[in-house]
Amino acid sequence: MNIFRAGKLAVAATALLGLAGGFVGVSAAAASQPAPPQTTVTGETYVIGTDTTFAPFEYRENGELTGIDMDLIRDIAANQGFTVEIKSLGFDAALQALQSNQVDGVIAGMSITDERELIFDFSDPYFDSGVQMAVAEDNTEITGYADLAGETVVAKRGSEGETFANSIKDEYDFTVKALADSATMYDDVKAGNSVAVFDDYPVLAYGINQNNGLKSVTEKEQGSSYGFAVNKGQNPELLAAFNTGLAELKDSGEYQAILDTYLEQPAPAAASGFFGLLGDSLPALMKGLGLTLLATGLSILIALVLGVLFGFFKVSESRILRGIAGVYVSIFRGTPLLVQAFFFYFGLPQLTGQSIDVLTAGVLTLSLNAGAYMTEIVRGGIQSIDPGQTEAGRSLGLGYVTTMRRVVLPQAVKIMTPSFINQFVMTLKDTSLLAVIGFAELTYQGQQIYAANFRTGETLLIVAALYFIVINLLTMLSNKLDKRFNK
Amino acid sequence: MSASKISVTGLRKSFGSNEVLKGLDVEIAEGEVVCVIGPSGSGKSTFLRCLNKLDELSGGTVIVDGFNVSDKTVNLNEVRQHIGMVFQHFNLFPHMTVLQNIMLAPVELKKQSPADARATALKLLDRVGLADKATARPAQLSGGQKQRVAIARSLAVNPDIMLFDEATSALDPEMVGEVLQVIRDLAAEGMTMVVVTHEMGFAREVADRVIFMADGLIVEEGTPAELFGNPQQARTQDFLSKVL
Ligand SMILES: Nc1ncnc2c1ncn2[C@@H]1O[C@H](COP(=O)(O)OP(=O)(O)O)[C@@H](O)[C@H]1O
Ligand SMILES: [Mg+2]
């Protein structure tokens, strides 16, 4: 499994957190003060973070979280008499959440490494992984490393598979290219861009049994072990209970039964056609679409309020108000939305000690971001009105507010409306970025689906079509309303 | 002439380092019609805009209708209701009908009920010869019609003083007459007026007094007969020789 299963997003987040921590002089370690000792787990409820989709350890089937990790943690909880509340956050996000104590433990097919042991406490290993090589089902030429000469293979970025492939590439004379996730790697092999893939044996075994169009051609290389983690010094009783429960499941044979379910005897999924996939995935995608629209609606409303407020600040005569609005706009236009999302979800809790739910963090990010653009739209709209209009109003004895309300704004709103509609569409599309903090909107649901069924292209096509339909319907509606009210 | 309606002493105005008005002293009596002439850039508009404080003063005192405009604590919204202003480019509100343009201030300022304001507006429209345009939008009017609506709009708050800033300069020649006629009527009714204009014939006809400005100073003033017939200053003579 991936030793450094923390992609560039986590690196960005960690850098940001380090920065934020540095500002106020707290570090991740300081945020994790030892909790009051607790001797028993009985009757307790623990929040467990996990990856969104890392089949066969965790993935969704008919909307339910399932997989080796899920069965294991649930069975251990039942065995030891505690309850778990599982949060499917994504791998990077789950680790960040553990560091900021937003979750009590993480089980996410995570390799036990020296670096991670510096910041987390790990359980006894519960699974031994290893790297295996696979090729396309109809490929009869490549049966071992020796056949790779002059070819290109693919491995997951930052994974054990990549490390292993690089360690033998000179000996066997092949090139290694890195991609971000299993589903796209398998597509790459099927498309013929690479002849073989190096991936974790359990992932590969599961994928092959899901008819991903590949076959494995080598034995597994000895690899790392997976462990359950708690934050350093936190929840020792939970860690102890995990170890005890794991030992008991191994003794009773229940542990082996779980592994067999996913690795040895998976019922081969009947490959359904495009419409089968559409039917299967639509319920989850619709749920995601609902959250996308909810986050968009809330964010746009708040952004509108912010935009009007700061827009007026920007055209006011007070230098202080103009300054405040200027700083606000330059901060939120001058930093990437993704960094803002990480900051509000991971950074803020570390600074304030107050955890924040993903919808709140997402809406906060989007509304503050869109609010900055709205501010500029409002400012531009007001300033585009001939100053003679204000002068005429003021010379009649009307006050500033009345002149704004009756003379300037009615004309400015008409000019601003197309930009408002544009910002609305942008914000709707920007919600897809919240997938990285584990907000279960449309893109996130799509990623989950193709990570489990390996039908990347078709799934993304459906996701894109849903965005396209909704955005165009909403744009048409907005333009109609604009024509109707802004004649 | 009776009591002083506008009293300006030592009025100065600068935009940054550019001094545009360099100390003006003017007294205007009730019912007096004063025309201001002078080359472009001499400060005529700025002078008018200082009278109702659309522009901030840099120095001096301006007392209009008993209000000390140069006093920072004076309620400008109140003062401005006593001073109507007509602009070169009309500045009608394009999103409102003609009637709504005229009714806006009286209703917003709670001077009149909407019904009364409407009746007044219709009367004013009749007076400027546009009774049939009440429901038209500004965009549907000719330049001359627009300016007549703008005058009616200023009159709706029942001002004691009217300021005109080149009210006919943006008009096609055939429309100048209809607007001047409205101003002429107001003069005949005894309205106190300050009229910045390039129409020398009109100034000669309606003005009680003509002021010639150049480079932010009043160079010469007098009755139309004096100023047009026998200008004393070289600058005045030079200017008049070019425009007459
Ligand atoms: N808002 C302003 N900012 C800077 N300079 C101005 C402004 N308004 C007028 N001026 C300057 O003041 C001078 C007088 O302008 P104005 O009063 O409009 O002259 P006039 O109406 O006699 O043509 C001009 O030089 C003009 O450029
Ligand atoms: Mg002028």
Where exactly are the structural domains of chain B? 32-43+75-241
User: With DSSP H G I counted as helix, E B as strand and the rest as coil, what are the percentages for chain A, rounded to 5?
Assistant: 60, 15, 25
User: Cis peptide before A236, with omega less than 30 degrees from 0?
Assistant: no
**Cβ B17 under 6 angstroms from ligand 1:** no
**Which of the residues B93, B100, B137, B194 would you substitute to probe the A interface, choosing the one with the greatest number of A C-beta atoms within 10 Å?**
B93
Contact residues, chain B, for A393 at CB < 8 Å: 93
What pLDDT does residue A212 have? 79
CA distance B69 to A390: 19
DSSP secondary structure code for residue A406 in this structure? I
Please report which ligand is nearest the Cα atom of B56.
1
Q: Do B54 and A386 touch (CB under 8 A)?
A: no
pLDDT band, residue A3 (cuts 50/70/90): very low
Q: Do B54 and A391 touch (CB under 8 A)?
A: yes
**Segment holding A120, helix H or strand E:** strand A120-122
**Residue A29 in this model has a pLDDT that exceeds 50:** no
pLDDT band, residue A438 (cuts 50/70/90): confident
Q: What size, in residues, is chain A?
A: 487
Give the Å distance between the CA of A406 and the centre of ligand 2. 27
For residue range A386-401, what is the model confidence (pLDDT) as tens digits? 999 999 999 999 999 9
Please report which ligand is nearest the Cα atom of B42.
1
Cβ(B214)–Cβ(B239) below 8 Å? yes
Residue A45 burial (C-beta neighbours within 10 Å; 0-12, 13-18, 19+) = exposed
**Residue A26 in this model has a pLDDT that exceeds 50:** no
**Residue A213 in this model has a pLDDT that exceeds 90:** no
What mean pLDDT comes out for the span B56-62?
Answer: 94
**Segment holding A212, helix H or strand E:** none
Q: Which of A203-217, A220-234, A246-260, A315-329 has the lowest mean pLDDT?
A: A203-217
For residue range A324-367, what is the model confidence (pLDDT) as tens digits? 999 999 999 999 999 999 999 888 888 888 878 889 999 999 99
Q: For residue B103, which of B89, B90, B115, B87 has the smallest C-alpha distance? A: B115
**Cβ B241 under 6 angstroms from ligand 1:** no
Tell me the pLDDT of chain B averaged across its residues.
94
Task: Find the closest chain A residue to B77 by CA distance.
Answer: A397
Give the Å distance between the CA of A382 and the centre of ligand 2. 25
What pLDDT does residue A33 have? 45
Distances (CA, A) of A312 to A161, A370, A403, B68, B104: 56, 16, 13, 30, 23
**Cβ B41 under 6 angstroms from ligand 1:** yes
CA distance B25 to B8: 5
**ipTM of this complex > 0.85?**
yes
pLDDT band, residue A13 (cuts 50/70/90): very low
CB-based contacts of A81, cutoff 8 Å, min separation 6: A41, A42, A43
What pLDDT does residue A21 have? 39
Cβ(B176)–Cβ(B202) below 8 Å? no
In order of their start, the domains of chain A are: 38-126+227-263 (3.40.190.10), 128-224 (3.40.190.10), 274-485 (1.10.3720.10)
Q: Do B54 and A395 touch (CB under 8 A)?
A: yes
Residue B217 burial (C-beta neighbours within 10 Å; 0-12, 13-18, 19+) = middle
What tokens were used for A320?
């202080």
What pLDDT does residue A53 have? 79
**Cβ B20 under 6 angstroms from ligand 1:** yes
Chain A residues whose C-beta is within 8 A of a chain B C-beta are 386, 388-389, 391-399, 402, 406-407, 410-411, 414
**Cβ B56 under 6 angstroms from ligand 1:** no
**Residue A457 in this model has a pLDDT that exceeds 90:** no
CATH T-level topology, domain B32-43+75-241? Rossmann fold (3.40.50)
Chain A, chain B: beta-carbon pairs less than 8 Å apart: 55
For atom 17 of ligand 1, the residue with the nearest CA is B43
Give the Å distance between the CA of B19 and the centre of ligand 1. 10
**Cβ B114 under 6 angstroms from ligand 1:** no
pLDDT band, residue A267 (cuts 50/70/90): low
For residue range A70-97, what is the model confidence (pLDDT) as tens digits? 999 999 999 999 999 999 888 888 998 8
CB atoms closer than 10 angstroms to residue B180:
21
What pLDDT does residue B131 have? 93
Contact residues, chain A, for B77 at CB < 8 Å: 397-399
Q: Do B94 and A407 touch (CB under 8 A)?
A: no
For residue range B133-164, what is the model confidence (pLDDT) as tens digits? 999 999 999 999 999 999 999 999 999 999 99
pLDDT band, residue A165 (cuts 50/70/90): very high
What pLDDT does residue A23 have? 39
Strand order in the sheet with A83-88: A83-88, A45-50, A105-106, A229-231, A120-122
**pTM (2 decimals)?**
0.72
Q: Which residues of A454-465 are buried (b: 16+ CB within 10 A; e: fewer)?
A: bbbebbeebbee
| Residue in A388, A398, A399 nearest the CB of B89 | A388
